[in-house]
């Protein structure tokens, strides 16, 4: 039986017809994702979760997904259309995102095609999605697995926060909930969560800061900086919060970018990854800062940067010749995070 969260023109049998080897677009420990074509011609993404072990209460995030995504609607949160469930399998049906995940686009072979203005737009849109979860839902929702692979892109590269399998409800802002074990993705987990297992909305803020650093640097959070070093530690060491340092870590695949925008988004990223959770901004503040981008001092030259943060950005647009680090080598991750 298909349980729908909106009016749908397909059936559970149509969903089951999608479960073919040729339709697989993503695989992982949390299940398999298929691309499906419905009789109407519309495309959907179907996530098939692993079967529950006998006697186990672990549902691989199935209930978390339907309890959160099933009740919310926002332009920048992926839409859960419905689900099919029985004692053998759980299927989640989502709107299809043809450009896959930000992680795949940013770190895959096409990473060089993600221009700066698109990166900035994605940052703002993803921030708005998280802001909605933290400030406009009741009770508020903590995502707990914010990462570039969980930000999906539609045909216009519009960002949608996805994968709510680890999401938790918090009754009041400013409160925390103690988890029984660490959940999330290595490189994105806030320090206090790793040490205390206490999670709140500031844990998501930290993870979002890591995503912003990915957008600036074009590098994965871990695996490129030596043993035990993540992107936050690497950036702090390389930049020392000054403009020359930011030039060293900037994605070399970006041919020319407005420095005032780079410094602005870098500044926000470093606020988000503050060691102490209380020092981090809220997602509402993040959206406000990102959308209040100061204009360059010379209105006739839109790519001429203006100082907009305490980082004292330079006054020229960066060109490729000025960039220092080699392009990161990476293999494309799955098209959809699962």
Is there a contact between 158 and 143 (Cβ–Cβ < 8 Å)? Answer: no
Q: For residue 171, is pLDDT > 70? A: no
Enter the tokens of residue 329. 């080598």
CATH for 102-322 is: 1.10.510.10
Using alpha carbons, list the distances in angstroms from residue 199 to 24, 211, 213, 227, 270. 33, 18, 22, 26, 20
Its CATH class, for the domain covering 2-95, is alpha beta
Write down the residue that tokens 């020359």 correspond to: 244
- The predicted structure's pLDDT at residue 274: 97
Using alpha carbons, list the distances in angstroms from residue 179 to 90, 131, 166, 176, 239. 24, 22, 11, 10, 34
Flag the least confident range among 69-73, 84-88, 144-148, 286-290.
84-88
- The predicted structure's pLDDT at residue 111: 58
Enter the tokens of residue 208. 């979002």
Give pTM, 2 decimals: 0.82
30 or 7, which is more confident: 7
The mean per-residue pLDDT over the stretch 276-287 comes to 97
For residue range 63-122, list pLDDT tens digits in order. 888 888 888 889 999 999 999 887 778 899 999 999 999 999 999 876 557 999 999 999
pLDDT band with cut points at 50, 70 and 90 for residue 334: very low
For residue range 297-315, list pLDDT tens digits in order. 564 344 333 333 334 443 3
pLDDT band with cut points at 50, 70 and 90 for residue 26: confident
- The predicted structure's pLDDT at residue 3: 85
Task: Give backbone dihedrals phi and psi of 274, rounded to 5 degrees, phi first.
Answer: -55, 140
For residue range 176-186, list pLDDT tens digits in order. 555 545 567 88
Residue tagged active-site, from 14, 145, 163, 334? 145
Q: Where in the chain is the domain with CATH 1.10.510.10?
A: 102-322
Task: Give backbone dihedrals phi and psi of 241, rounded to 5 degrees, phi first.
Answer: 55, 35
Q: Where in the chain is the domain with CATH 3.30.200.20?
A: 2-95
Write down the residue that tokens 């490189």 correspond to: 187
pLDDT band with cut points at 50, 70 and 90 for residue 7: confident
Q: Which helix (H) or strand (E) holds 94?
A: strand 90-95
The mean per-residue pLDDT over the stretch 132-147 comes to 92
Using alpha carbons, list the distances in angstroms from residue 231 to 120, 205, 283, 334. 19, 16, 21, 21
Quote the CA–CA distance of 25 and 18 in Å, as a whole number: 11
Quote the CA–CA distance of 249 and 265 in Å, as a whole number: 13
- The predicted structure's pLDDT at residue 298: 62
Q: Which residues of 102-132 are buried (b: 16+ CB within 10 A; e: fewer)?
A: bbbbbbbeebeebebebbbebbbbbbbbbbb
Using alpha carbons, list the distances in angstroms from residue 146 to 40, 129, 152, 183. 33, 11, 11, 11
- The predicted structure's pLDDT at residue 321: 43
For residue range 196-241, list pLDDT tens digits in order. 778 889 999 999 999 999 999 999 999 888 888 999 999 999 987 6
Assign 198 to helix, strand or coil: strand
Q: For residue 333, is pLDDT > 50? A: no
- The predicted structure's pLDDT at residue 52: 59
204 is catalytic: no
Write down the residue that tokens 């609607």 correspond to: 73
The mean per-residue pLDDT over the stretch 51-69 comes to 67
Quote the CA–CA distance of 191 and 110 in Å, as a whole number: 32
Listed residue (79, 74, 75) closest to 93, CA to CA: 79
């Amino acid at each position: 039986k298909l349980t729908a969260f909106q009016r749908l023109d397909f059936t559970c049998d149509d969903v089951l017809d999608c479960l073919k080897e040729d339709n697989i677009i993503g695989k992982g420990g949390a299940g398999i994702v298929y691309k499906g074509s419905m009789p109407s011609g519309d495309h959907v993404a179907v996530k098939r979760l692993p079967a529950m072990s006998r006697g186990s209460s672990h549902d691989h995030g199935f209930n978390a997904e339907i309890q959160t995504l099933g009740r919310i609607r926002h332009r920048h949160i992926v839409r859960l259309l419905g689900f099919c469930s029985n004692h053998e399998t759980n299927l989640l049906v989502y709107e299809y995102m043809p450009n896959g995940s930000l992680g795949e686009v940013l770190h895959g072979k096409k990473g060089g095609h993600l221009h700066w203005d698109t990166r900035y737009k994605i940052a703002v849109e993803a921030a708005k999605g998280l802001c909605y979860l933290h400030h406009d839902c009741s009770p508020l929702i903590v995502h707990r697995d914010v990462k570039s692979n969980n930000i999906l892109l539609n045909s216009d590269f519009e960002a949608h926060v996805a994968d709510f399998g680890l999401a938790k409800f918090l009754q009041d802002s400013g409160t925390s909930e103690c988890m029984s074990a660490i959940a999330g993705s290595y490189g994105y987990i806030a320090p206090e969560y790793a040490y205390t297992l206490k999670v709140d909305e500031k844990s998501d803020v930290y993870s979002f800061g890591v995503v912003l650093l990915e957008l600036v640097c074009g590098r994965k959070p871990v695996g490129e900086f030596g043993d035990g070093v993540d992107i936050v530690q690497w950036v702090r060491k390389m930049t020392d919060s000054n403009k020359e340092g930011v030039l060293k870590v900037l994605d070399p695949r970006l041919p020319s970018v407005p420095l005032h925008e780079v410094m602005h988004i870098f500044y926000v990223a470093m606020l988000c990854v503050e060691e102490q959770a209380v020092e981090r901004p809220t997602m509402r503040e993040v959206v406000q800062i990102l959308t209040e981008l100061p204009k360059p001092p010379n209105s006739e030259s839109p790519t001429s940067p203006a100082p907009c943060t305490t980082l004292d950005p330079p006054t020229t647009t960066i060109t490729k010749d000025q960039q220092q680090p080699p392009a990161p080598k990476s293999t494309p991750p799955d098209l959809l995070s699962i």
